[in-house]
Amino acid sequence: MVNKDFFAALADLEREKGISEEVFFDALRGALSSAYKKQFEGETGTVRIEFDSEKGTIRFFLEHIVVDNDEALDGEILLKDAIEIKKSAKIGDVLSEEFVPKDFSRIAAQTAKQVILQKIHETERDNTLSEFSDKEGELMSGLVRKVDMKNVYIELGKGQIEGLMLPQDQIPGERYETGDRLKVYVKRVKSGGKNAQVLVSRAAPGFVKRLFEEEVPEIKQGVVTIKSVAREAGHRTKIAIYTSDPRIDPVGACVGNKGARVNAVVSELGGEKIDIILWSENPLEFIAKSLSPASVISVTQMTEKSAVAVVPDDKLSLAIGRDGQNARLAARLTGWKIDVKSESAAQKLALEEAAEEATEEIAEEIPQTDEENPAE
């Protein structure tokens, strides 16, 4: 079969869709083989198709393996029948006969078309996912296409691909409607197979980090560094920042003129509270700052990664936070286990420990009586 128009169309498809000839040929081989089998039911053998883009030809072959059995299975031909076609045929040979599929029916052609279109769709999706693989951890804008069973489906970029936002990646209390435009954090790109998808989030700590990078030029330029982020989406976020440049106030840079920068982030998060913490190389100093907005009297290291923080009596509830949230976020931000105590509780504990030590010292000073040799 000579079909130069077909190969010209294929070249156009490669330019427009970025699908290579070989990928298309593989799909076409499978499609035409399937169509042939469907058209000629009962026909045995394997259909082989050869493409020659230079000559603009497509050739079809029906192949059988020569066997010496009582009965030929699918894809096989008995030796006696093979010899009638080719005298030199022997067991194990692959007998190949060229044919021209002039009588393909409309159904067979439709089958071929569907398989080809499906392959094109899969290839386009894989190519798009491949392009998105470097978007992991990035901030993107998207349009809500559908809300289904609490899952939110979002068209990303220019509608090239769909992102999935699962319930755990949504900010509690936020409502999403079809047509809403949202900023999302590309959490993970899962490529390959039918389950390929892009998972996006508005609840991830990385979402807050990227929002600050967008609002604060000093962070984007690398002058101010975000060291860590701890977040309970919809409620509170703590972000630790640092700069090695003494001329720059990192907290002021993040807050912005009259709070403009931090307020822009808070607005995107629907009013979520944000504590901006100045990171310190001294872990105990960092722990004290992480318990903001509460003031801290002292921090004492207990073990390698645990410490006790003492706060004024009237600041204890503020330091711990509602349901322990503030202390919990401080622990996540610093990576330390933090035990928060009020000043009076810490003093009482110190007195008890001092009394216990004193009792032990007195006990050690009292001489032991020798019961076997009592003093006369």
pLDDT value at 324 more than 80: yes
Domain that holds residue 89: 4-130
**CA angle, 78 as apex, 74 and 84 as ends, to 5°?**
125
Report how far residue 375's alpha carbon sits from residue 86's, in angstroms, rounded to the nearest whole number. 125
Query: Which three-class secondary structure state does DSSP give residue 8?
Result: helix
Which one is predicted more confidently, 53 or 2? 53
Contact yes or no for 311/300 (Cβ under 8 A): no
Nearest to 174 by CA among 164, 162, 165, 161: 165
Same domain, 15 and 108: yes
181 and 262 both lie in a single domain: no
Residue 103: how many other CB atoms lie within 10 Å: 8
Kindly state whether residues 242 and 337 are assigned to the same domain.
Answer: no
Burial string for 283-316 (b: 16+ CB within 10 Å, else e) reads: bbebbbbbbbebebeebeeeeeeebbbbbeeebb
Tokens 């022997």 locate to: 90
Residue 370 lies in a domain: no
Q: Is the pLDDT of residue 178 over 50?
A: yes
Final residue before a domain boundary, out of 130, 154, 188:
130
Tell me, yes or no, whether 79 lies in a domain: yes
Alpha helices in the chain (DSSP H): 4-17, 21-39, 79-85, 106-132, 205-215, 217-220, 250-255, 260-268, 283-290, 316-320, 325-334, 343-365
- Whether 44 and 119 map to the same domain: the answer is yes
Q: 117 and 32, same structural domain?
A: yes
For 100-133, write each residue's pLDDT tens digit: 776 665 665 676 677 777 777 777 777 667 667 7
Q: Are 9 and 27 within one domain?
A: yes
312 and 254, same structural domain? no
Residue found under tokens 């860590």? 228
Q: Which element (helix H / strand E) includes 98?
A: strand 94-99
Q: Do residues 114 and 28 both lie within one domain? A: yes
- Tell me if 151 is assigned to some domain: yes
Top mean pLDDT of 96-110, 181-195, 237-251 is at: 237-251
How much is the pLDDT for 376? 45
On whether both 157 and 241 belong to a single domain, the answer is no
As for how many domains the chain has, the answer is: 4
By the 10 Å C-beta count (0-12 exposed, 13-18 middle, 19+ buried), 143 is classed as middle
274 and 289 together in one domain: no
Which residue reads 């504990």 in tokens? Answer: 349
Q: Which parts of 149-202 are beta strand (E)?
A: 151-156, 161-165, 181-190, 197-201
Whether 94 is covered by a domain: the verdict is: yes
Mean pLDDT of 68-94: 84
103 and 212 both lie in a single domain: no
Question: Is residue 145 in a domain?
Answer: yes
**Amino acid type, 284:** L
pLDDT above 90 as % of the chain: 48
pLDDT in tens, 2-33: 567 767 777 777 777 666 777 777 877 777 77
Domain boundary among 254, 279, 304: 279
100 and 18, same domain (yes or no)? yes
List the CATH number of the domain containing 192.
Answer: 2.40.50.140
User: The whole model's pTM is what?
Assistant: 0.67
Q: Is residue 355 part of a domain?
A: yes
116 within domain boundaries: yes
Would you say residue 303 has pLDDT above 70?
yes
Domain of 247, CATH number, reads 3.30.300.20
